Chains A and B, each alone.
Chain A
Amino acid sequence: MKSSESFTPSQTETENIEKEIAPKSPELEIAGVDNEYLKHYGSWAELLVEQGAVEILSDSEKKIELTTQSMNVSSETLEAAKREFGFDEQLQEVQTEASQLVNTTKADIEAVTQEPQQKTNLSYDADKTDLVDDQDHKKSENIENKPASKHKLVEVFEKAGVESRMIKIENNGEFSEVIILNKKEVSTEKLVRIYRGINHLDDTVLKQTPYAMRSIDESGNLRILENVRQEVDALVNNPTYENLLTYVEKVRAILMPKEVQQLDEDLFDIENGILDGYSTRKVLSFEQVKHNGGVADSGIAPYISASFDPREAADYGKEGLMVIDVPLSEIEEDRADASEVNIKGALDKKYITAILLRKRREAEDDKEKRNQQIQQALQKVHESIDVPLYNEAVMHSEREKKIAEDAELDKKQWEKDVTMLRQKRTERIIKEFPEANIDFQAAQQESVEQNTDVYTKVQNDIFDQYKTRLEKTGRNRKIDDYEFESRYGWKKFDSEKINDIMLVKLHELVLRLEQRGKERNK
């Protein structure tokens, strides 16, 4: 659950789940985009972009602080480890790249908004830039004016066969209404209580789906990909590289072309993570972090973000806060002391316990008071429905235990995953560079003798072949004199850091130089 927003552009209330920026909304299709709105949209986009660079460091400080506290590390040990590792320098490098990215993105946005603006011919008052927010407000009013027993959501739940009841809390400001969903069966296992913000009071409340089960077309319309539910479930319950590939192959056929391209890039990043020593579980959770909200999104991440902290979750739900009670087996997390948590796959509606509705007209500026109201509403939930929740201390130790068990499983699984992946990558580069004339079986045999893996061995062999050819082009320059453009800027052809993209670039360079050599000799 990332990012926050100060100005929200137009949103559609209907088919979109968690869509914070609506690339195209029905309102705008009819009315068009006026100059003032575009100006605000551009400013908001720039703010969002700036926020990303600020968060990248503050988040890491928070993460380090939390972990060092739980490990009881002295500040001397922490500082010494940081110096030895070159921690600050490495993070500074990321920060510099983030700042460059922010600057270029802001310049790109400014270039768009500063082009001569179109004259508006809309019939409504062009000064009213908050047209859609106003409509949202009216929608909220309508909802709030309905009798408590027939709230719009209660009707939605009824249609879906879910019994619910509304509870009013006197003098509790923004959080003075709670909908309790009656459980059809009482859980026999202990549960953990987590929270998720909601932005649409419609049937999407009951259809919380992970990025991996979404597709967004060019007009910004969301499709829920029910036919990959089985593959997503298999992946989250058994996060192996094989299950990941099964999902990727199935979803590839039903995604939009742009999404397929993104899917391949994401898979490539995931594979690199596995090659770097991370488990498939871990790299999938890295994928979840990629989505910082702000833009309607689909992706490879098979999780739904939630939080153990209701106040944090409330920051992401302008219409309400969902109270979810799930078994530990239904969530994925890195640390037992973290508030952020991932729900595995699509959320089964039986785990939704309550919805705290927000009356935005009564929104509280004082965060402390707002938090008290949330606590008050949650107390009401606690009194209204009996759910077998872990107590705090047991929950913490159970979370720790599960993380440790998963880590143990992951160690064994990683060996299998990386072997399968290396084989796949090796076969691919052998095919991609046929002139290198490499035999897989022979390379595998030699890799064992050289105490390396087959993928590294084949990469090195291809690199060496092109290096030799490059240095024969007769320009009296060594391979170190050349650079290539990677995703992270210009890099040297470093034999210690060979990757497939580097090999492609090296191949291109060699062909170019050989061609020039031929032309010179004509």
Chain B
Amino acid sequence: MINGNSQKKKTIDDILTKYNARMAALRQKRDKIISVFLEVLKEKQLDSIRQLLKRL
């Protein structure tokens, strides 16, 4: 009888493993968005510094 619960625990582990893999892919997607955004931001910041220097 206990084997049934052991099997259920194993099933939960399998669900968690799949969840982890899919969440990891989402995290990777998020990190790519942040990484590209930070590049854009860096450019924008440099641009505003350039504008400021021009005015000076």
Which residues 106-124 of A have a CB within 8 angstroms of B? 108-109, 112-113, 115, 117-122
Is A38 touching B8 in the complex (CB atoms < 8 A)?
yes
- Per CB-CB distance, the 3 closest pairs between chain A and chain B, nearest first, are A32-B2, A290-B24, A33-B5
CB distance from B45 to the nearest CB of A (A): 5
CB distance from B32 to the nearest CB of A (A): 7
CB distance from B15 to the nearest CB of A (A): 5
**Interface size in chain A (residues, C-beta < 8 A):** 70
Contact A94 to B29, CB < 8 A, known contacts A24-B10, A52-B19, A295-B17? yes
Q: Please list the residues of chain B having a beta carbon within 8 angstroms of any beta carbon in chain A.
A: 1-6, 8-13, 15-38, 40-42, 44-45, 48
Q: How far is the CA of A77 from the CA of B40 in the complex (A)?
A: 11
Identify the closest chain B residue to A90 (Cβ).
B33
Is A101 touching B33 in the complex (CB atoms < 8 A)?
no
Is A291 touching B24 in the complex (CB atoms < 8 A)?
yes
**Does A352 have its Cβ within 8 Å of any Cβ on chain B?**
no
Contact A108 to B15, CB < 8 A, known contacts A33-B2, A81-B40, A120-B2? yes
Is B1 touching A121 in the complex (CB atoms < 8 A)?
yes
Is B37 touching A87 in the complex (CB atoms < 8 A)?
yes
CB-defined contacts of B42 to chain A, threshold 8 Å: 71
Render A18-36 as a binary contact track against B, CB cut-off 8 A, 1 for contact.
Answer: 0001011000100111110
CB-defined contacts of A448 to chain B, threshold 8 Å: none
Which of B20, B24, B41 is close to A77, meaning CB atoms less than 8 Å apart?
Answer: B41
Is A56 touching B13 in the complex (CB atoms < 8 A)?
no
Is A289 touching B24 in the complex (CB atoms < 8 A)?
yes
Is A94 touching B30 in the complex (CB atoms < 8 A)?
yes
Is A294 touching B20 in the complex (CB atoms < 8 A)?
yes
Is B33 touching A77 in the complex (CB atoms < 8 A)?
no
CB-defined contacts of B2 to chain A, threshold 8 Å: 31-34, 118, 120-122
CB-defined contacts of A273 to chain B, threshold 8 Å: 28, 32
Is A269 touching B45 in the complex (CB atoms < 8 A)?
no
Which residues 83-129 of A have a CB within 8 angstroms of B? 84-85, 87, 90-91, 94, 97-98, 101, 105, 108-109, 112-113, 115, 117-122
CB-defined contacts of B30 to chain A, threshold 8 Å: 56, 59-60, 91, 94
Which of B8, B17, B27 is close to A33, meaning CB atoms less than 8 Å apart?
Answer: B8
Q: How far is the CA of A71 from the CA of B2 in the complex (A)?
A: 58
Partner-binding segment picked from A62-70, A497-505, A510-518 = A62-70
